[in-house]
Structures are given as structure tokens and as C-alpha cells.
Amino acid sequence: MNNANYFNNANSLGWENKVLTNIDKNNIELIFRFEDGDVYRMYHAQNCCEYVYIEDIEGDLDNLIGNPLLQCLEVTNYNIEGFDESECCDESECCESCTWTFYKFATIKGYVTIRWFGESNGYYSESVDIEKLN
């Protein structure tokens, strides 16, 4: 599979040039607080029988604090030509569908990639939700 296809499937979060003041993190969600007062929650709204979680964070979240965001992209394997879901589903009975979602952030201080993973029987959403809290 050509990795260039991933960036053809990238979407901007629209947070470019915004300045983060704080990021609260636990295993199921991230809360982003911005200098202009905006607060966003990144999480998965549980439906039933799916499992969606933060698989990994590459980079230091503190590098995103205090400087304008230069890159804020969401990249997912959804609708990628040539992607084989058997590559990410293990032998689990419930995993017939899976979604990798990468959030790629950058400031002048460095890069951070937040990797979410979701799996289900194919009937439930495996997407990551972002909601504005204020």
C-alpha cells in the first residue's frame, strides 16, 4: 500500500494558528484548552459493542503548549484504497471492522501524533468524536 494515500485522506481540524494553554489526558479522552477560551473534547461516544481507545501518543504533548499550532490534521484508514482490515483485526470474535485515526499536530517546538484505534463487529462507529465544550 502506498503511504501517500493516507495524506490524501487527511482533514484539517481548523485549529491552525490557535494557541493551546493546556491538554488534559486520560485513557479515554483528551481535553484541549486554547488561549482564546475555546475548549474541545476528543473522545469516542460509546454506542454498544465497539472498543475505541488512544493506542499511542508519539511526541511530547507539552510541545504543543504556548505556540501557534502549525498543523492540525486527522488522518484515518477509512476509505483508503487498498487497505485490508485483516491487517489490524486480530483473531477476536468481535473484530470484523477496524479504524485507525491519527491526529497530527505541530508547533515550532515539535510534532505530536495521537493514534486512536477502534474495532467492532462492523455495525458500530469506530470514529473519534471532537466536541466544543463552550
The pLDDT tens digits of the residues spanning 79-98 come to 555 555 556 665 555 567 78
pTM (global) more than 0.85: no
Helix (H/G/I), strand (E/B), else coil: 32:
strand
| pLDDT band at residue 23 using 50, 70 and 90 as cut-offs | very high
pLDDT at 122 exceeding the cut of 60: yes
Residue 51 in contact with residue 127, Cβ under 8 Å? Answer: no
